[in-house]
Amino acid sequence: MKIKILLSFLLILFLYNACSEKTTKKQPEVLDLAHRGYASKHQEATLEAFKYAIEENADGLEFDIRQTKDNVIVITHNQKINELEENIAELNYLEIQKHTSIITFKKIIKLAKEHEKDIWVEIKDSELYPKIIDNMLEIIEEEKYAKKTIIQSFKLSDLKYIHSKNIDIRLLKLYIFQYSFNTLPKYINYIGLPIVLGVMNSNIITSIHKAGYKIIFWRESSIFEKKYFIRKLINSGADGFMLDSPLKDFK
């Protein structure tokens, strides 16, 4: 009888310790990256949007860059200025500034620096903008912000060139549907995949982690920017998200 009581006590003690360890174990950090400054809350990629993202304590500010005719790097996803019905590459910045709320890369990097926020910069259609990468790198160097900068691109050639110029800048290779990370250079830090049904598989995340990369999921459409899908990816080991709303809204 005493042996049974002792065994029961030891079993209860074991279960208690196991439960305590489970509840106190620190959960892995999941990065909350403000997609164009949480675009569902304010007009996307505006100063107001990025200030809001900082107020909401986003881990990083995510945005796209393009370049004007007079070589000013600006923050916008679109190639064309709808208000002027012309492409950004055909316009000087002062003309754009008169008719839009588009801001410069310099302005955002200074804002991020003031609040010590990482910037996640996507280069859009680099072939359309002569020396946009060199001009971007020059600004980053002037502000001494390389270690707080992550550059993302669908073009591996862009990322390779950036790595050859500054090894302190982290790099993210973007994919849409077809992706292959087995032959990806080891200087790539992150893989970016869209939030779609095809990636709702923990094996994909596990494979990417085993290959030595972290995985960031980016907003593809409002269809999948829902609590169910975000929670599923978090539970599967996602390292971060680029969303139109703060990550806390989905937990």
Mean pLDDT of 169-175: 97
- Do the domain assignments include residue 37? yes
Task: Encode 209-220: b = buried (16+ Cβ within 10 Å), e = exposed.
Answer: eeeebbbbbbbe
- Do the domain assignments include residue 121? yes
| Residue 195 and residue 216 in contact, taking contact as beta carbons nearer than 8 Å | no
Q: Domain containing 154 — which CATH number?
A: 3.20.20.190
- Do the domain assignments include residue 130? yes
- Do the domain assignments include residue 63? yes
**pLDDT tens column, 14-53:** 434 444 434 333 346 899 999 999 999 899 999 999 999 9
Between CA 73 and CA 138 the distance in angstroms is: 11
Between CA 130 and CA 212 the distance in angstroms is: 33
Structural domain harbouring 193:
29-246
Domain count for the chain, please give it. Answer: 1
- Do the domain assignments include residue 141? yes
Half-sphere exposure of 211 toward its Cβ, with a 13 Å CA cutoff?
21
Q: Residue 225 CB: number of other CB atoms within 10 A?
A: 19
pTM of the model as a whole: 0.87
- Do the domain assignments include residue 7? no
